[in-house]
Structure 1
Amino acid sequence: MIHIVGAGSGAVDLITVRGARLLGEADTVVYAGSLVNPNILTTYTKPDCEIYDSARMTLEEVLQVLITAERAGKNVVRLHTGDPCLYGAIREQMDALDSAGVSYEVVPGVSSFCGAAAALQAEYTLPGVSQSVVITRMAGRTPVPEKESISSFASHGATMVVFLSTSYLEALRTQLLEGGYSEETPAAIVYKATWPDEKVVHGTVGILPEMAAKNGITKTALILIGNFLGKAYERSKLYAPDFSHGYRTAQKKGPSNAD
């Protein structure tokens, strides 16, 4: 069994209990060295654990290490940043393991988009503002389907979380404006969410490139766009005293002092 584990958004103690246990039992770990906090490895792995940095490896080299170790009866962890289901390139690994007849399990993690919301002390889905979150990225060396362009998503006015795009902020701003966001739409950049050197920058769509440049942010950051960062929203019906649901009956309004 190979365990594909989400390391969490960066903070050492934001890995899941299951993920930490599996790391502690692992004989071999292949981790995403460009993004995973190395302190997670020193905190949870045992001294004799074999550790490989996949940032310097091809897919074939990663698979060779994983499969060889698993067939030797070792406990094996493939450690990804955040949650493996987002930009983790795990499908190709799982397909290869299926072809090799090797069993595996995916262990979820705390994604950086959750860590960014925590850093901002923000809620992505505010009543009357936005009830949808678009998680996407700019096209770069790896293309994005045309129907999933930033401008097409921007036309919905929903909350947007943009990964892997700090190097393309001029083009990102252009596409956001073309899609319908205004220059005054609130925006934020969160650098290394939940890491010790986390940095949060507030601004608007119109000055996104300047926000990054002024703060020396060139990579490892999320860009967040939408009116969820503003002050206006409607109160949730869930906890409103005049709203009934399966667990609570609406409270009747008593007479006011004017009656």
Structure 2
Amino acid sequence: MESKVYFIGAGPGDVDLITVKGRYILEKADVVIYAGSLVNSEHLEFCKKDAAIYNSASMTLNEVLDVIKKYYKENKTIVRLHTGDPSIYGAIQEQMDEISKYNIPFEVVPGVSSFTAAAASIKREFTLPKVSQTVILTRVEGRTPVPKKEDLEILCKAQASMALFLSVGMIGKVAEKLRKGYGRNVPIAVIQKATWKDEKIVIGTLEDIEEKVKNAGITKTAQILVGDFIDTDYDKSLLYDENFTHEFRKAKNETCHN
């Protein structure tokens, strides 16, 4: 493989949820810098025995860049292994921008995000006909600020399906903002470590979710899913409706003309 940097999404937890392409590159890599605080360490079992492994949990941006520059000069294949999909709260843009300054080639390999894994864990679909055709991915303000125009209370006025990252430690604040924004009691689910062996699922409403989450001992590494899609009636999709015509199928009640 050529010497360059691969930003790879490792998936939400289960090591088999990395893509085939991601696993293949990981197996061939000379150097792996992985987000040790979030990425399942079992991924490292697929690395070459002589691969150089770095845990970025304790590293600064400059330290990560120093490792990349060092091994690129040695003509090595480098993997930057991120959790979920690296394009969502992955802090990869700053890394890509910096290595571009040194003309170091790179590629991004997408992965399964924790928000889709969480929906799979509770066996729900975000986009139900006549319920919601929009999914909002967001977070509440913590040490990282959120633009005022994206305040949770404002966003939920759209009544769309929502997935909140990095917010379960402030579940009380989340529930309060959602109650104000929705103006009613809607279903909410909290999924800790979706697809991991020690996954936890809590389902409730805006009125009782804070207590349920605290009783379950969930304080971090969790997705918050919000919206009627979790528990509601819905219309069936037209895609499989026998009376609906599309490019690949004529409706049963459609008259055929020769």
* TM-score in same-fold range (> 0.5): yes
Question: Do residues 217 (structure 1) and 225 (structure 2) align?
Answer: no
Q: Give the equivalent residue in structure 1 for 2:98.
A: 96
Matches of 1:70 and 1:30 in 2, distance apart?
13
Q: Could you report, residue by residue, the CA deviation over 1:92-135 in whole angstroms, capped at 9, with x for unpaired residues?
A: 00000111110000001011111101101110000010000000
Q: Give the equivalent residue in structure 1 for 2:20.
A: 17
Structure 1 counterpart of 2:25, which letter? L
Q: Give the equivalent residue in structure 1 for 2:253.
A: 252
Out of 77, 80, 86, the position equivalent to 1:78 is: 80
Percentage identity across aligned positions? 48
- Provide the TM-score with structure 1 as the length reference: 0.95
2:9/2:22 contact within 8 Å kept: yes
Question: Do residues 194 (structure 1) and 204 (structure 2) align?
Answer: no
- Provide the TM-score with structure 2 as the length reference: 0.95
Matches of 2:173 and 2:123 in 1, distance apart?
27
Displacement of 1:208 after TM fit? Answer: 2.1
2:114/2:194 contact within 8 Å kept: yes
Give the number of aligned pairs.
Answer: 252
- RMSD of the TM alignment (CA)? 1.2
Matches of 2:220 and 2:212 in 1, distance apart?
13
5+ residue gaps, structure 2, are none
Matches of 1:14 and 1:211 in 2, distance apart?
29
Matches of 1:157 and 1:181 in 2, distance apart?
10
Matches of 1:35 and 1:157 in 2, distance apart?
31
Matches of 1:27 and 1:51 in 2, distance apart?
9
Matches of 2:223 and 2:152 in 1, distance apart?
14
Question: Do residues 36 (structure 1) and 26 (structure 2) align?
Answer: no
Q: Could you report, residue by residue, the CA deviation over 1:211-232 in whole angstroms, capped at 9, with x for unpaired residues?
A: 2111110000000000001130
Matches of 1:214 and 1:4 in 2, distance apart?
37
Matches of 1:206 and 1:72 in 2, distance apart?
57
5+ residue gaps, structure 1, are 254-259
Q: Give the equivalent residue in structure 2 for 1:52.
A: 54
Displacement of 1:181 after TM fit? Answer: 4.6
CA pair 95-141 structure 1, distance change in 2 beyond 3 A = same
Matches of 2:93 and 2:187 in 1, distance apart?
35
- The 5 Å alignment of 1:71-220 reads 71-183=73-185, 185-220=186-221
Matches of 2:165 and 2:47 in 1, distance apart?
29
Structure 1 counterpart of 2:42, which letter? N
Structure 2 counterpart of 1:205, which letter? L
